């Protein structure tokens, strides 16, 4: 049985037994390489579920839809390991309880999609720990490497060119599973910290501030870059932040639901080489 | 519409010599929102302050900027003047054009330009200032003192003698703590019991002190002036009202082989017992872990002999809820487990004892009646070796800090030994002699010069038994030679460590502790008896190793802090505190974690029927100290800091 | 270029340590360049990364953020939190191409008037060397009237 069939029947089972009230998964999209989230509530509809290498969107953000989890009933969600990590972060930041979420885990490697063992966020602990180790030795992204090698001036021009295309549509924010603030700072106009007109300056401020807010929280799922209509490589900023928190504070976001937010905690011997 | 008054002070020549005050005044006059700008030689003087007051009243000012010296100098002065003229003091800001401008720059034009920018920035800020009212917090005038050792007793008595109400809680069955265990005390050699027990009695009988022994703190909630404390009264199985303290039950209890805690295991006690003869209250408790009845369901000898029917095996733990205004934590210390030093043979050789055990041997009320005798055979030792720093100043195995009291008590031990055994020999292995304190160095000199204690500077590497002797091998670093001393008894100056549950207890109290579990003071130098949590104070060795004089001094200091608090009906606090916008808060609790003062609570938002809708952060104005760490964490800009709001700072930066 | 470029520098400091240190520099009559403008905050914990961006938007060529040394924070550990934020934000700024000379972080205690004066001298000198933050100024100009006050 293919993994897609396996999970379709598992979803049917979960829905018909009443274990979960909804399965959040992937359905066919507008083009063959795109998948669209589907929200299945009836066992008869589970054959709408698709699971293949195009299923890249992190679906955890949908769990925070107002009222979805307020009845204490369970919801099953398709997650790769990044998704499970974001689930842990949402729990650590008190936005949901993992007990209400059943994980249908999968991993995409090249063409191949395999199932992950476990159904509760805590079941994936050792896999996440392994991913943390692996990230340390992960070779840097090609573009990131190129950027790091540039002079500050060149880097500034690179980002200036990128951000000049930003139209402040906030699709990055909408797509990001970690952007769940009831009010985004950019929507606060007293004071207006971020210029809302889509000039390059305000665009730069917005994207830097967003990257800062995601530091230590981003699981590098890539939702932001995929959502960006201007094709700005936003994930690069987040990636750089992840390098920093892991390198300086040994923080790998989403280890478990008890993890303390990296910017709300500290160690007295945190590194401080740059402070005069 | 803002009506700001700008008052440019010359500070004699201090400012005016560099900054063109007239130009600054002119620049401010034309700035939007400024109604009046004036200059004067000394605005801090009486006529200066009067002119500000007059302008406030005549112009109906909504904000005041005094461009003068540092706010650290005269902010309070000018805010008071504003308040006197009916302007809320928090609508006054100081532009520092002296310390940070005229005094540090040589070029007049540059200084003037900078002064204009500094002042303009603050004008923009003050336009966004809000009226703030001091925060008033009611004070419950009842103190809780936790721990009935010398520090706790001293604090309780000081507060009670000044008329304050005190609840003194001790977890053991009697007051006294470690001091009651000691023989004689350095540097005067007066007997510990003789100076301690009257204090214990005084505390127990004081009309303002409510004594709760055999009781533990279960929960602490609330904040300064308004703590809610739950105390667990452990079941004693003896009715305190009925019991006369005759002691018949203690005599007759068949279970007599329990290692006595008070005598550090050098003597046994029964299952129904008072910790020591002079215990306060002098009424027994039943140790249910060892009592035959609790173990086998049979015995009840104590019930039979008790003439007042005071024994009650059905007694349960009880809980007491107290309203408390201030807390003094005086939970004391423990001595480190010495068995981790295998080379010293503690636990293996009965004649290797700790300093505290030696105290019991030397104490007139101890198991030997004050005769210094070997635990193994009861013989008086002819040679005693004292090993200092047995755990202290040893980062590899023990603790890295100095336990502070060991140099003194070891000298005392050597002295007591010399006084009791005139022919005996004592040898002290030491690293350094740390005898800083009134009469302390003289005391150690006396031990060496008059009482013949032989001090050897060096550490002991090994200890073994040979021909009935304890062989102590060490090195004399002054001679550069190894030494071997055959001894009859070895005394280890064990390290003072926090109570084993100190870290847990710090969490209960909501205060900080260091890596060992010693409680943290708010500031090591300037606020040594306060904790970072307002209204909770420290006394004695729970904070760091201390001797008796230091513990007592700190206890009195803590008591004075409590009394200062109790001298007011209401606490008035600077209203520079955080506030949360509940409408936009998502309840991620990052602020709760980041707050150094545990000042942010989780608050339920419910509908009219009481159903929980969501939870948001809520700042407790009694606890918040106004650092603003939470504000910077808050991604949604929900939390803000009064006096330094996001709007104010934004305006200040944009005004530069 | 014949005339010396005079950069604009904004400093965000905590009131208990660095502000007091700057006062001490004044009472000691130490001299340092007049390029710096100080914004006083209660604690480094209150200093948000947005302050830095807004200072740059106001045309600052350099920014200094400074507070109590680790262990000395008046608020116990506000500066430890600040340090983590700075670590993260500093690397973000550098990755975005803001030269490291332009945004500086320091610990200056109430007793370190000399350190304050020296640091201001040093930062001013460094920024004089690299010149105005033209790349940023260009973005500001482009924004035109959009910058609110």
The domains found in chain C, sorted by start residue, are: 9-146 (3.40.50)
pLDDT band at residue C145, thresholds of 50, 70 and 90? low
> Are B532 and B585 contained in the same domain?
no
B312 inside domain: no
Q: Which of B516, B532, B566 is the last residue of a domain?
A: B566
Q: For the domain that residue B615 is a member of, what is the CATH number?
A: 3.30.70.20
Q: For the domain that residue B402 is a member of, what is the CATH number?
A: 3.50.50.60
Length of chain A as a residue count: 276
**Pairing mode of beta strands A112-115, A101-109:** antiparallel
Compute the distance between CA of residue B6 and CA of residue B11 in angstroms, rounded to an integer.
15
pLDDT digits (tens, 9 = 90+) for B409-455: 999 999 999 999 999 999 999 999 999 999 999 999 999 999 999 99
pLDDT band at residue B210, thresholds of 50, 70 and 90? very high
Q: Which residue of C has its CA nearest to A154?
A: C97
Decide which of B105 and B574 is more confident: B105
Mean per-residue pLDDT of chain B: 94
- CA distance readout (Å), A47 to A26, B58, B428, C6: 11, 80, 85, 69
Q: Provide φ and ψ at C118, rounded to 5°.
A: -65, -40
- CA distance readout (Å), C42 to B558, B577, B629, C39: 27, 11, 10, 10
Q: Is the peptide bond before A191 cis (omega within 30 degrees of 0)?
A: yes
Q: Which of B514, B547, B566 is the last residue of a domain?
A: B566
Closest CA to B263 of B332, B194, B360: B360
- Inter-chain CB proximity C75 and B596 less than 8 Å: yes
**Pairing mode of beta strands B142-146, B578-580:** unpaired
What range does the domain containing B282 cover?
248-305
Decide which of B107 and B341 is more confident: B107
Q: Are A168 and A202 in contact (CB under 8 A)?
A: yes
pLDDT band at residue B340, thresholds of 50, 70 and 90? confident
- CA distance readout (Å), C136 to A162, B37, C60, C96, C139: 15, 35, 9, 12, 5
- Inter-chain CB proximity B101 and C34 less than 8 Å: yes
Chain B residues inside the 8 Å CB shell of A215: none
Tell me the two tokens of residue C37.
Answer: 């403008």
B245-254, B459-468, B524-533, B632-641: range with lowest mean pLDDT? B524-533
Compute the distance between CA of residue B309 and CA of residue A41 in angstroms, rounded to an integer.
70
Question: How close A110 comes to chain C (CA, Å)?
Answer: 30
Q: Which residue of A has its CA nearest to C120?
A: A276
Chain B residues inside the 8 Å CB shell of A191: 646-647, 650-651
Decide which of B137 and B53 is more confident: B53
> Are B446 and B362 contained in the same domain?
yes
> Are B261 and B296 contained in the same domain?
yes
> Are B273 and B422 contained in the same domain?
no
Tokens 């001894």 belong to B487
Q: Which helix (H) or strand (E) holds B391?
A: none
Per-10-residue mean pLDDT of chain A, 276 residues long, equals 89 94 93 91 93 93 91 94 96 94 93 92 94 87 89 95 94 94 91 87 94 95 93 92 93 94 92 88
What pLDDT is recorded for position C149? 40
- Inter-chain CB proximity C26 and B628 less than 8 Å: no
Q: How many CB atoms lie within 10 A of CB A37?
A: 16
Check pLDDT > 70 for residue B606.
Answer: yes
B132 inside domain: no
pLDDT band at residue B314, thresholds of 50, 70 and 90? very high
Question: How close C116 comes to chain B (CA, Å)?
Answer: 11
Is the Cβ of B605 closer than 8 Å to some Cβ of chain A?
no
Question: How close A90 comes to chain C (CA, Å)?
Answer: 21
Q: Which residue of C has its CA nearest to B119?
A: C37
B309-313, B482-486, B520-524, B644-648: range with lowest mean pLDDT? B520-524
> Are B118 and B35 contained in the same domain?
yes
- Which residues on adjacent β-strands are paired with residue B498? B333
B239 inside domain: no
Compute the distance between CA of residue B548 and CA of residue B187 in angstroms, rounded to an integer.
11
**Which among B103, B117, B626 is the nearest to C26, CB-wise?**
B103
Q: Is the peptide bond before B187 cis (omega within 30 degrees of 0)?
A: yes
Q: Which of B78, B100, B127 is the last residue of a domain?
A: B127
> Are B422 and B484 contained in the same domain?
yes
Rounded CA Rg of chain C: 15
Check pLDDT > 70 for residue C128.
Answer: yes
- Inter-chain CB proximity A193 and B585 less than 8 Å: no
Q: Provide φ and ψ at B480, rounded to 5°.
A: 70, 30
Check pLDDT > 90 for residue C119.
Answer: yes
- Inter-chain CB proximity A153 and C97 less than 8 Å: yes
Q: Are B517 and B523 in contact (CB under 8 A)?
A: no
Handedness of CA B624, B628, B633, B635 (dihedral sign): positive
Chain B, chain C: beta-carbon pairs less than 8 Å apart = 126
Helices (H), B348-405: 355-362
Is the Cβ of B587 closer than 8 Å to some Cβ of chain A?
yes
Q: Are C106 and C79 in contact (CB under 8 A)?
A: no
The answer to whether ipTM exceeds 0.90 is yes
B136 inside domain: no
> Are B195 and B323 contained in the same domain?
yes
- Inter-chain CB proximity C98 and A244 less than 8 Å: no
Tell me the two tokens of residue B124.
Answer: 């923009």
B442 inside domain: yes
pLDDT digits (tens, 9 = 90+) for B42-75: 999 999 999 999 999 999 999 999 999 999 889 9
Q: Are B98 and B69 in contact (CB under 8 A)?
A: yes
Check pLDDT > 70 for residue B553.
Answer: yes
User: Model pTM?
Assistant: 0.73
Check pLDDT > 80 for residue C144.
Answer: no
Tell me the two tokens of residue B18.
Answer: 């560099």
Percent of chain B residues topping a pLDDT of 70: 100
> Are B466 and B585 contained in the same domain?
no
B314 inside domain: no
> Are B417 and B459 contained in the same domain?
yes
- Inter-chain CB proximity A263 and B650 less than 8 Å: no
Question: How close A191 comes to chain B (CA, Å)?
Answer: 5
Check pLDDT > 50 for residue C148.
Answer: no
Q: How many domains does chain B have?
A: 5
pLDDT band at residue C1, thresholds of 50, 70 and 90? very low
Compute the distance between CA of residue B293 and CA of residue B311 in angstroms, rounded to an integer.
12
What pLDDT is recorded for position B102? 95
pLDDT digits (tens, 9 = 90+) for B563-603: 999 999 898 888 999 999 999 999 999 999 999 888 999 99
> Are B511 and B593 contained in the same domain?
no
- CA distance readout (Å), A143 to A146, A155, B336, B361: 5, 11, 57, 76
Which of A148, A201, A217 best tests the C interface by mutation, with the highest count of C CBs <10 A?
A201
**Which among A181, A190, A192 is the nearest to B635, CB-wise?**
A181
Compute the distance between CA of residue B315 and CA of residue B298 in angstroms, rounded to an integer.
17
Residue C148 CA, distance from chain mean position: 22
Q: Are B361 and B261 in contact (CB under 8 A)?
A: no
pLDDT digits (tens, 9 = 90+) for B456-487: 999 999 999 999 999 999 999 999 999 999 99
> Are B180 and B326 contained in the same domain?
yes
Tell me the two tokens of residue B546.
Answer: 């201390």
pLDDT band at residue C146, thresholds of 50, 70 and 90? very low
> Are B292 and B414 contained in the same domain?
no
pLDDT digits (tens, 9 = 90+) for B357-397: 999 999 999 999 999 999 999 999 999 999 999 999 999 88
Dihedral through CA A204, CA A210, CA A212, CA A214, nearest 10?
-150
What pLDDT is recorded for position C2? 52
Tokens 């005390």 belong to B185
Q: Are B144 and B167 in contact (CB under 8 A)?
A: yes
A96-105, B13-22, B514-523, C122-131: range with lowest mean pLDDT? B514-523
Compute the distance between CA of residue B547 and CA of residue A6 in angstroms, rounded to an integer.
71
- CA distance readout (Å), B137 to B140, B566, B569: 10, 12, 9
């Amino acid at each position: 049985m293919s993994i897609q069939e396996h999970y379709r029947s598992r979803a049917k089972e979960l829905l018909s037994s009443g274990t979960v009230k909804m399965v959040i998964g992937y359905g066919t999209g507008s083009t063959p390489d795109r998948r669209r989230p589907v929200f299945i509530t009836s066992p008869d509809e589970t054959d709408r579920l698709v699971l293949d290498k195009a299923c890249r969107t992190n679906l955890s953000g949908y769990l925070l839809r107002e009222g979805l989890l307020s009845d204490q009933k369970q919801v099953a969600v398709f997650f790769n390991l990044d998704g499970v990590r974001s689930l842990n972060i949402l729990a650590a930041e008190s936005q949901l309880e993992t007990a209400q979420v059943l994980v249908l885990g999968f991993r995409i490697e090249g063409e191949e999609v395999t199932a992950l063992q476990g159904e509760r966020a805590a079941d994936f602990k050792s896999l996440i720990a392994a991913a943390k180790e692996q990230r340390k030795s992960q070779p840097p992204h090609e573009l990131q490497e190129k950027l790091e090698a540039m002079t500050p001036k060149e880097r500034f021009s690179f980002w200036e060119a990128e951000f000049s295309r930003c139209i402040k549509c906030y699709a990055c924010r909408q797509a990001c599973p970690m952007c769940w603030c009831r009010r985004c700072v950019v929507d606060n106009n007293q004071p207006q910290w971020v210029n809302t007109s889509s000039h390059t300056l305000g665009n730069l401020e917005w994207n830097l501030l967003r990257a800062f807010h995601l530091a230590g929280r981003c699981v590098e799922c890539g939702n932001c870059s995929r959502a960006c209509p201007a094709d700005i490589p936003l994930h690069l900023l987040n990636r750089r932040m992840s390098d920093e928190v892991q390198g300086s504070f040994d923080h790998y976001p989403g280890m478990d639901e008890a993890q303390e937010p990296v910017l709300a905690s500290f160690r007295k011997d945190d590194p401080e080489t740059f402070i005069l | 519409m803002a009506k700001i008054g700008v008052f440019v002070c010359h500070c004699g020549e201090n400012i005016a010599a560099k900054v063109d005050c007239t130009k600054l005044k002119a620049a401010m006059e034309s700035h939007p929102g400024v109604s009046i700008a004036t200059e004067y030689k000394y605005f801090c003087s009486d006529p200066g302050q009067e002119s500000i007051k007059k302008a406030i009243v005549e112009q109906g000012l909504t904000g005041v900027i005094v461009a003068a010296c540092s706010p650290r100098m005269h902010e309070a002065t000018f805010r008071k003047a504003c308040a006197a003229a009916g302007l809320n003091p928090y609508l006054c800001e100081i532009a520092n054009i002296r310390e940070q401008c005229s005094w540090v720059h040589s070029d007049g034009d540059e200084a003037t330009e900078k002064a204009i920018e500094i002042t303009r920035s603050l004008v923009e800020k003050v336009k966004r200032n809000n009226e703030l009212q001091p925060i008033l917090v009611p004070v419950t005038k009842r103190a809780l003192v936790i721990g009935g050792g010398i520090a706790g007793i001293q604090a309780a008595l000081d507060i009670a003698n000044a008329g304050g109400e005190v609840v003194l809680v001790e977890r053991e069955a009697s007051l006294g703590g470690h001091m009651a265990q000691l023989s004689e005390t350095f540097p005067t050699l007066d007997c510990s019991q003789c100076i301690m027990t009257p204090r214990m009695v005084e505390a127990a009988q004081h009309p303002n002190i409510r004594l709760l022994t055999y009781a533990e703190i279960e929960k602490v909630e609330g904040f300064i002036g308004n703590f809610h404390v739950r105390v667990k009264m452990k079941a004693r199985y003896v009715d305190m009202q009925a019991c006369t303290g005759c002691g018949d039950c203690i005599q007759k209890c068949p279970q007599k082989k329990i290692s006595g805690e008070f005598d550090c295991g050098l003597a046994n006690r029964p299952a129904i017992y008072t910790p020591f003869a002079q215990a306060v209250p002098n009424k027994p408790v039943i140790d249910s872990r060892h009592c035959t009845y609790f173990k086998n369901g049979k015995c009840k000898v104590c019930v039979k002999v008790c003439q007042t029917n005071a024994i009650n095996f059905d007694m349960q733990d009880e809980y007491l809820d107290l309203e408390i205004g201030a807390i003094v934590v005086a939970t004391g210390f423990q001595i480190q487990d010495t068995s981790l030093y295998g080379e010293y043979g503690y636990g293996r050789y009965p004649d290797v004892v700790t300093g505290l055990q030696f105290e019991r041997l030397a104490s007139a009320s101890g198991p030997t009646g004050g005769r210094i005798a070997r635990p193994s055979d009861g013989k008086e030792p002819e040679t005693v070796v004292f090993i200092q720093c047995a755990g202290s100043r040893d980062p590899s195995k023990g603790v890295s800090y100095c336990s502070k009291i060991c140099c003194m008590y070891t000298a005392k031990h050597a002295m007591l030994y010399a006084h009791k055994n005139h022919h005996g020999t004592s040898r002290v292995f030491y690293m350094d002699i740390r005898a800083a304190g009134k009469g302390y160095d003289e005391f150690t000199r006396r031990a060496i010069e008059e009482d013949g204690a032989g001090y050897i500077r060096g550490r002991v590497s090994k200890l073994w038994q040979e021909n009935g002797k304890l062989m102590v091998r060490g090195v004399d670093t002054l001679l550069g030679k190894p030494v071997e001393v055959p001894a009859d008894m070895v005394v280890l100056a064990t390290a003072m460590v926090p109570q084993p549950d100190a870290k847990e207890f710090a969490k209960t109290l909501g205060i900080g502790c260091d890596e060992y579990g010693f409680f943290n003071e708010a500031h090591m130098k300037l606020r040594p008896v306060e904790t970072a949590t307002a209204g909770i104070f420290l006394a004695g060795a729970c904070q760091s190793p201390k001797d008796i004089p230091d513990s007592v001094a700190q206890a009195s200091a803590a008591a004075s802090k409590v009394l200062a608090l109790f001298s007011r009906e209401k606490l008035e606090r600077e209203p520079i505190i955080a506030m949360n916008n509940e409408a936009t808060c998502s309840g991620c609790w990052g602020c709760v974690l980041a707050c150094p003062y545990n000042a942010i609570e989780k608050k339920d938002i419910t509908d009219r029927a009481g159903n929980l809708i969501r939870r948001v952060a809520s700042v407790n104005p009694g606890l918040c100290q106004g650092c603003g760490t939470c504000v910077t964490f808050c991604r949604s800009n929900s939390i803000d800091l009064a006096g330094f709001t996001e709007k104010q700072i934004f305006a200040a930066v944009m005004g530069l | 270029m014949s005339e010396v470029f005079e950069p604009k520098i904004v400093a965000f400091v905590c009131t208990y340590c660095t502000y007091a240190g700057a006062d001490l520099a004044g009472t000691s009559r130490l001299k340092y360049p007049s390029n710096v403008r100080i914004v006083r905050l209660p604690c480094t914990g209150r200093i948000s990364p947005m302050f830095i961006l807004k200072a740059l938007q106001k045309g600052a060529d350099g920014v200094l953020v400074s507070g109590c040394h680790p262990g000395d924070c008046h608020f116990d550990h506000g500066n430890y939190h600040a340090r983590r934020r700075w670590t993260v934000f500093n690397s973000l700024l550098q990755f975005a191409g803001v030269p490291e000379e332009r945004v500086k972080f320091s610990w200056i205690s109430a007793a370190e008037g000399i350190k304050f004066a020296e640091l201001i001298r040093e930062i001013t000198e460094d920024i004089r060397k690299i010149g105005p933050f033209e790349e940023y100024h260009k973005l500001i100009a482009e924004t035109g009237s959009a910058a609110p006050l």
